[in-house]
Chain A
Amino acid sequence: MSLVLVQILNGLQYGLLLFLAASGLTLVFGILGVINLAHGSFYMLGAYLAVTLTAQFGDIFVALAVGIPLAFLFGAAIEWLFIRHLYKRDHLQQVLLTFALILVFREVQQTLWGNHPLSIPTPSYLSSSIALTPDLGYPVYRFALMAICVALALAMMFVIQRTRVGRLIRAAESNPEMVEALGYDSRILYRMVFAAGVTLAAAAGILAAPIESAYPGIGDRVLIISFVIVVVGGIGSIRGAFLGSLLIGLADAFGKVFVPEFSSVLIYAVMALILVVRPSGLFGRA
């Protein structure tokens, strides 16, 4: 197996994890019209939550099962406290408030978990490696991670395309007044969408924790790359976020090895290139 194939695998794995984080951002951005700078903080809180829950229950997947409803409730509470006041306001005020949330969550993290990096064991049944080449192994946990990300992506697309809730969400996005007129409470709908966005970010953080560990600032890069993906894929498009994530993941993996001196700007170059060809992103509505 050559280096190129290994890099494709690396790129896909990284991209799939990014998709989980970015899809939450694109939902919130596309449907609620809120620029949520605290998105990376939810990823960070997910990673730290994984530390605490894994210590409690001993397995990352139990931590995920417990963490998802917790994150959903937390997201709903944040929406009720802060975000719902932002829907009718301009982006500058949204940026201001969600940036304040970043600072608050960072303090919370330092107070609760401190500044030292904390690590989480991978489950023993997934801690082996598969030999890809005679001198390179690939951790089984990463394969599991890819499978989970694909499953979640499919589930999300199914919900949005094929279910009643999905139809309502899509309708609320394009014509909230009509949804209200049909007797649905769009406030509840919005709360659920925001909570889903938070849950996706936190789930990405929880799943990444065994390979990333949890440390201060872990969410910063996720936030920036998520925004890049949302712009590349087209705002509000889950399909766009999926393709955009894989594109950015692959660009990162290949860039590091084949054009290392250029690798830090490569993903932004990819973004710029796509925006030149399609100003509203791959699947964005012009």
Chain B
Amino acid sequence: MINRRRLLILAGAAGASTIAAPFVRPSWAQSNTLKIGLLLPSSGTYAPLGEAITRAVELYAKQQEGKLAGRDIVFVKVDDASEPAKATENTTKLISGEKVDVLVGTVHSGVAMAMAKIAREDGLPTLVPNAGVDALTRGACAPNIFRTSFGNGQIGDATGQAMLKAGIKRAVTVTWKYAAGEEMVGGFKKAFIAGGGEIIKDITLPFPDVEFQSILAEVGSLKPDAVYSFFAGGGALKFIKDYAGARLNERIPLWGPGFLTDGIEKAAGSAGDGVKTALHYVESLDNPENKKFSEEFMAAYKVTPDVYAVQGWDAMQLLRIGLEAVGGDTKKRPEMLVAMRNASFDSPRGPFKLGPSHNPIQNFYLRELRGGENKLIGIAAEKLAGDTTGCKMT
């Protein structure tokens, strides 16, 4: 029988216990929950990428029985919608509002740059599971920011090396006139020219123009050995189809960074046959870690994991190494950051370790699109570090 007095006593006791809680625990113990902020898109164009990363991160947590270095994982999710305009507000919400212990984000490079600016000032351990903007591990690098994905220029670099190996001497580049395109082409040109290749012409279109007929006519008249191109999504699909429609694919091989064919393998159909790309992950990679990861991911979500899932998975692997080095005590920030900086582990993509600017040193694989699938045909570049120019770790 609960009467009013009993209720009061109960409420008082409950209140007292919550107030007293911090004083009861030994002073060295912190709250045993580990708050991981996930700044990822769950709406907008990049929502599928955000979902893949989230799934991998949650799968990893589940496998660790919800704990990292003895602390209970709590995810705090914020949808950044891939909108740079809201990036500062969303990042602040997680860092100052939610007071997360670590931050994982994000997909869109513009959002990532705004996020990194705040994270850098705060010093919070931050892991970037996708955004490829070069500056993040060059001019805007920071001791507390770690990338588990790739740099745009790095992929271009790898593709350039693969093209040189294939005996290509003269190339034309085609991309949209926007940051990602310029970086993917920039990294490619640097490697290609350094290896003795010649760029006949750089063709750019205003973003997101997809009227390619005119430039295809030009490519045909320039007669290069190969075309290096970067477009994404619908634009990439249309470019590949128009390229085949103009019959250029019969004479001039089409190359590009892996993201040229990402997500459009099936839709491209026979038009995509023969397109060669370089990427740091291929689903069919034969290593124990990838086999295990693919099976577990498949069991949990009924789909094969993609490159984004791998990047999310590795963000958790890296975080675990950092946390275990300090016994889960995120207050020991400097030691944690050093441990993460020096981490090396087996990723589904192959051996993973970070370079001096906290961008992964990793293998890039050469793939050829055939029958709606990117087939592994070789190594584009081994243990490639990418450009770290302009990075000062202070």
A interface residues with partner B (beta carbon < 8 Å): 3, 6-7, 10-11, 13-14, 115-119, 121, 129, 131, 133, 135-139, 141-142, 211-218, 221, 252-254, 256-257, 260, 263-264
Residues of B within 8 A of A135 (CB): 220-221, 223, 248, 251
A256→B246 contact, CB < 8 A = no
The answer, among A121, A129, A212, for a CB contact under 8 Å with B238, is A212
A-B complex: 7 closest residue pairs judged by Cβ atoms: A215-B234, A137-B247, A264-B206, A136-B220, A119-B267, A139-B245, A117-B234
In the complex, what's the smallest C-beta–C-beta distance from B107 to chain A, in angstroms?
A: 13
Residues of B within 8 A of A215 (CB): 233-235, 237
Could you tell me the distance between the alpha carbons of A25 and B213 in the complex, rounded to whole angstroms?
Answer: 25
The answer, among B210, B216, B263, for a CB contact under 8 Å with A136, is B216
Q: Is B27 an interface residue (CB 8 A)?
A: no
Q: How many residues of B contact A (CB 8 A)?
A: 39
Could you tell me the distance between the alpha carbons of A24 and B245 in the complex, rounded to whole angstroms?
Answer: 29
B246→A213 contact, CB < 8 A = no
Besides A10-B214, A136-B248, A257-B214, 9 more A-B contacts (Cβ < 8 Å) are: A115-B45, A117-B267, A119-B268, A119-B269, A135-B221, A136-B220, A212-B234, A213-B234, A218-B234
Could you tell me the distance between the alpha carbons of A131 and B246 in the complex, rounded to whole angstroms?
Answer: 8
Could you tell me the distance between the alpha carbons of A11 and B213 in the complex, rounded to whole angstroms?
Answer: 9
- Nearest opposing residue in chain A for B263, CB measure: A116
Encode B268-280 as 1/0 by CB contact (under 8 A) with A.
1100000000000
The answer, among B210, B235, B246, B264, for a CB contact under 8 Å with A129, is B246
Report 7 cross-chain contacts, Cβ distance below 8 Å, ordered by A residue: A115-B48, A211-B242, A212-B238, A213-B237, A217-B234, A252-B211, A264-B209
- Nearest opposing residue in chain B for A127, CB measure: B245
In the complex, what's the smallest C-beta–C-beta distance from B256 to chain A, in angstroms?
A: 16
Residues of B within 8 A of A252 (CB): 211, 214
Q: How many contacts A-B (CB < 8 Å)?
A: 112
The answer, among B206, B208, B217, for a CB contact under 8 Å with A217, is B208
B245→A256 contact, CB < 8 A = no
B214→A138 contact, CB < 8 A = no
Residues of A within 8 A of B215 (CB): 256-257
A117→B217 contact, CB < 8 A = no
In the complex, what's the smallest C-beta–C-beta distance from A10 to chain B, in angstroms?
A: 4
Q: Is B204 an interface residue (CB 8 A)?
A: yes
Could you tell me the distance between the alpha carbons of A92 and B292 in the complex, rounded to whole angstroms?
Answer: 58
- Nearest opposing residue in chain A for B232, CB measure: A117
Contact (A115, B47) CB under 8 Å given A137-B247, A212-B238, A215-B234: yes
B213→A253 contact, CB < 8 A = yes
A133→B269 contact, CB < 8 A = no
Residues of B within 8 A of A217 (CB): 208, 234
Could you tell me the distance between the alpha carbons of A135 and B177 in the complex, rounded to whole angstroms?
Answer: 26
Q: Is B65 an interface residue (CB 8 A)?
A: no
Encode B134-168 as 1/0 by CB contact (under 8 A) with A.
00000000000000000000000000000000000
In the complex, what's the smallest C-beta–C-beta distance from B274 to chain A, in angstroms?
A: 16
B217→A3 contact, CB < 8 A = yes
A211→B214 contact, CB < 8 A = no
B209→A221 contact, CB < 8 A = yes
Residues of A within 8 A of B208 (CB): 217, 221
In the complex, what's the smallest C-beta–C-beta distance from A190 to chain B, in angstroms?
A: 34
B205→A211 contact, CB < 8 A = no
